[in-house]
Homo-oligomer: A and B are copies of this chain.
Amino acid sequence: MMAFIQALTVGVDIGGTKVAAGVVDPEGNILERLRRDTPSTSPQATEDTIADVVAELRSRYEVTAVGIGAAGWIDVTGASVLFSPHLAWRHEPLRDAVRRRVRLPVIIENDANAAAWAEWRFGAGQGESHLVCVTLGTGIGGAVVTDGVMLRGKYGVAGEFGHMTIVPGGHRCECGNRGCWEQYASGNSLVREARELAASGSPVAQNLLDRVGGDPLRITGPSVTEAAKDGDPVAVELLEEVGRWLGVGLANLAAAFDPGTFVVGGGVSEAGDLFLGPARDTFKRSLTGRGFRPEAQIQRAALGNEAGLVGAADLARENIRLFRRRRRRRRPASERLRERVDRLADI
């Protein structure tokens, strides 16, 4: 039983408004959850908050490591957040800052990578040797897991699919460019289109508007999804349009990565086939070489919005395992052999 308890790790998901933390076991179960507001003052205040939640969870569980998922670019050594849009962090040495506070091994991971890892280990991507994940929210987070290895790229910032140009000269993106994929296939793009339609005064949007008390700015992703599930044809169309853009982009990723499975997560994916149906249709039509190649599956993510927390915790465990194995390998073979004989003698 001790071995089991020692294998618990803490996962932390830092969002723009909330810090979500949990104790995660080796099967990906969350044993306890905590949530705090993300301090708006400084990175240091956020690091204090992370240390607080870890301390509180450690008062009840024995944990061996901490994994942190953050929306942002993590440098390839895993030490710093180079850039985080929601947190206004720039070259923040998060790993050591938290490690000093909690005195445990700490890893940081991009939130989309962490979520993809969780889906590969425990969710919709289990057993897939070539997995590409996209998470549709404010933007589009992306990650690639090949034979259990995360694609990081040379500098740690691979998988930024949301900022691939899909419409030259198209919608302005927060990144400074125009026509980025996330301007067309994210949760935010669905909301933008729905609000624009409603604000135009078009009578076709009346049902959408009535559901939110008549104020276009109160239209949200879930309100569009609910309307579509109730049969509102305009809401259905809006989801179809975003789905089609998703399909075009996934076909691009199939041309580049040739995965066996795409896992699609994030709020919009909860619309299910109303959204993924059009995505699959457009994907098949846009796929180059259709008929001469096996086609990737497009699956809905299984773990919901706790995937990032679970994945970060699991990556922290994985990191310790790799570290221990490396340390073991450095000892001479004779010593390792003796230890194994001793262990067998104990039985």
Which A residues have a C-beta under 8 Å from some C-beta of B?
73, 82-83, 90, 129-130, 142, 151-161, 163-168, 175-177, 180, 248, 251-253, 255-260, 286, 288-290, 292-294, 296
Contact = CB atoms under 8 A, between A and B. Distances in A.
Given A83-B289, A255-B160, A288-B160, A154 B167 contact: no
A167 B166 CA distance: 7
B153 A90 contact: no
| Closest A-B pairs by Cβ, 7 of them | A153-B258, A163-B288, A130-B154, A83-B292, A158-B258, A154-B260, A164-B252
A123 to B, nearest CB: 18
Contacts of A168: 166-167, 248
Q: What is the interface of chain A mostly: helix, strand, loop, or mixed?
A: loop
Q: Could you say which of A129, A142, A258 has the most chain B C-beta atoms within 10 Å of its C-beta?
A: A258
A244 to B, nearest CB: 10
A248 B168 CA distance: 9
Given A160-B289, A288-B175, A292-B82, A252 B165 contact: yes
A92 to B, nearest CB: 12
Contact of A164 (B83, B158, B255): B255
29 contacts: A73-B289, A73-B293, A83-B289, A83-B292, A83-B293, A130-B154, A142-B256, A153-B258, A154-B258, A155-B258, A155-B260, A155-B293, A155-B294, A157-B289, A157-B293, A158-B256, A158-B258, A159-B256, A160-B256, A160-B289, A163-B255, A165-B251, A165-B252, A165-B286, A166-B166, A167-B168, A168-B248, A175-B289, A180-B288
